Chains A and B, each alone.
Chain A
Amino acid sequence: MQTIRYIVKRIGLAVISLFAIVTITFFLMNLLPGDPFMSEKATAENRAILVAKYGLDQPVYIQYGRYLKNLLKGDMGTSYVLQKGRPVATIIFESFATSMQLGVRALVLAIVLGVSLGSIAGLRKDKPSDGVIRVLSSIGISMPGYVIASALMIVLAVNLKVLPVTYNKPGGWIMPMITLAMYPTCYLIRLTRASILEVMNQDYLTTERAKGMSEFIVVFVHALKNSLIPVITYLGPLTASILTGGFVAETVFNVPGLGRYFVSSISSRDYTVIMGVTVFYSSLIVMMNLLCDILYKIVDPRITLE
């Protein structure tokens, strides 16, 4: 019962957050100087016609009401500038398919590498392998995305010439994937290591050893299971990090994904695309956070519900 109440409360909060984000972005966006048609080679008259056609001459709150109404019906409008006349929803889903292919690969790589290396470091505390993993993860966590991207390019594409620079060629997804996965992998290594060390000191493991269970079962069945709980909480921020990391990785490696639309839509004042991308990204992040928090409470009954 308590769990259900908690879940309902969290969903309510998520809806309010999303509503707040949509509202803030909409009004901020309308504060931007200029309009979507400023680059158009048209007379003032024609521009006025365009502005009137899209209803941009009406007061902002009326535009806002209309946008919200359409959004609830699932209609995000059509692009004004970047891909004139195409529905925003289509643009988002097409380009997000590419971003997601890359993002999911990076996510899987980060979780597999991060958890396994973190466990090795935690179980072999103060041994050389622990030292090496710790040093590497400290360095990895300190490198912004473009530094990793540049390093990969210089080494793998320019000097060794083993991988292509652009995304479309075969194997072109490897470098953007590593770029995206680097930070989360290193973060997960540190998180898993700390968590393992904490769990390994718990009394219940000593009890199990005293009962004569093999070290293998103690570690892999009982210790690892509990130490992976904090990792779940990181999955929400992890998704956010991979999404925003996509802005850089997609620019550097010319990936035709959603990330590059974000900055270009703002600079070209493509209102519907700005709103569409923001709504889409925020919903994704808010939903992932919600899912992780709920999962966290269900997996670990020790956590007291508010």
Chain B
Amino acid sequence: MKVSALSLQNKISPEDFAPLGSDHFRDEKLETEEIGYWKASWRRLKKNRIAMFALIVILILLVFAFIGPVLSPYTYDQQVRGDEGLWPCMAHPFGTDRLGRDILVRCMIGTRISMAVGIVSAVIVMIVGSIYGAISGLAGGKVDIFMMRLVDIIYSVPEILLIVVIKMIISEPLQNLIDNTPSLKGLQRIGPGLIAIFVVYGLLYWVGMARIVRGQILQLKNMEYVTAAQALGCSKGRLIREHLLPNCIGQLIATVMLQIPSAIFTEAFLSYLGIGVSAPMASLGSLASEALNGITSYPYRVIFPAVLISLIILSFNLFGDGLRDALDPKMKKA
């Protein structure tokens, strides 16, 4: 084809109309891989060095509490004759008390109690609080107002007072029940003091959680995707399970994590006042309180449990803070 020199037409050839190769657009694609919520959170968490360090400390403490006693040559209530009142030495790295009990193994058991109390209480709080909050938020109207007034009232009850009273009341009947029912034998060792703490957590401490969950549900309820799901005929149960819960789970977990140290705090406080675990079971609070009388001559008996309990609470606090920032960056405190 002849083209005039003045023509403005582009030169075209049949090759220009050939289909492009399959990898032609590869370079233009944005290089972001799809990552899910959990993976993204984990990445954020991994970058937080303090939180990761706290996580490692928590894992070490878990090993110390749950595997340590198995490896120890002593048991927590074994009184070694001739080893009474020893300072820390090779045979007893943390020393012994005046009955010849090894303080290291008693501290391990105490750590186990503290961790168990923290985790079990947090789980109780999460279950009761999130169910209550979700019902209140979803129901709305008069039901919601009534349920929240109840929360306001419970919120103002000084819980420490009630823990003590409830513990005293349920101690005896509970002890009888445990002694007479073979299937509850496992509870015998932890004693009614701890069970009272769980009962009170189930009764009183969930209110904070209920408020948070209700707030979340109220916010999510009005979102368009929920309306869309409802329009498509989604049932209430499915709505909660598949749409509402996954969207507030991050905040839920973060709140639960921060509940653990608060429960450990309460247990330590009660055991210290002598109304936590029953002897000869040891908790870090009761160990410190037993040792306080001899603080001038045997300071190490106070120091080990005191340092351990602070370490436990500190690492849960730091990890909880980090987890909250990672799971819910919107909530991040500057």
User: What is A's interface to B at a CB cutoff of 8 Å?
Assistant: 13-14, 16-17, 20-21, 24-25, 28-29, 31-33, 125, 138-139, 141-147, 150-151, 153-154, 158, 194, 197-198, 201, 240, 243-244, 247-248, 251-252, 262-263, 266-267, 274, 278, 281-282, 285-286, 289
Contacts and interface: CB of A to CB of B under 8 A. Distances in A.
Nearest to A10: B152
A274 B162 CA distance: 11
B169 A31 contact: yes
Nearest to B295: A153
A247 B313 contact: no
Contacts of A29: 165
A285 B157 CA distance: 8
A151 B304 CA distance: 11
A270 to B, nearest CB: 13
26 contacts: A13-B149, A17-B157, A20-B153, A21-B157, A24-B157, A25-B161, A28-B165, A32-B168, A33-B172, A138-B317, A142-B317, A143-B310, A144-B268, A144-B310, A145-B272, A146-B268, A146-B269, A146-B272, A147-B310, A150-B295, A158-B295, A247-B269, A278-B161, A278-B165, A281-B161, A289-B156
B306 A147 contact: yes
Contact of A143 (B160, B166, B295, B313): B313
Q: Top 4 closest A-B pairs, CB basis?
A: A142-B314, A197-B334, A142-B313, A147-B306
B140 interface: no
A21 B164 CA distance: 14
B272 A248 contact: yes
B299 interface: yes
A158 B299 CA distance: 9
Nearest to B164: A266
A17 B295 contact: no
A247 B295 CA distance: 20
Contacts of B86: none
Contacts, number: 124
Given A143-B310, A146-B288, A150-B302, 7 more contacts: A25-B162, A144-B272, A146-B289, A147-B288, A158-B299, A244-B269, A278-B161
Among A14, A31, A142, A194, the one with the most B-chain Cβ atoms within 10 Å of its Cβ is A142
Nearest to B268: A144
| Interface residues of A, dominant DSSP | helix
Contacts of A240: 158
Contacts of A125: 334
B261 interface: yes
A143 to B, nearest CB: 5
A127 to B, nearest CB: 15
Contacts of B265: 144
Nearest to A284: B158
A29 B314 CA distance: 36
Interface string B141-169: 00000000100110011101110111011
B168 A24 contact: no
Contacts of A146: 268-269, 272, 285, 288-289, 292, 306
B275 interface: yes
Contacts of A143: 306, 310, 313
A266 B275 CA distance: 11
Contact of B261 (A13, A142, A197): A142
Contact of B166 (A28, A150, A198, A281): A28
B273 interface: yes
B314 A248 contact: no
Contacts of B311: 142
A106 B275 CA distance: 26
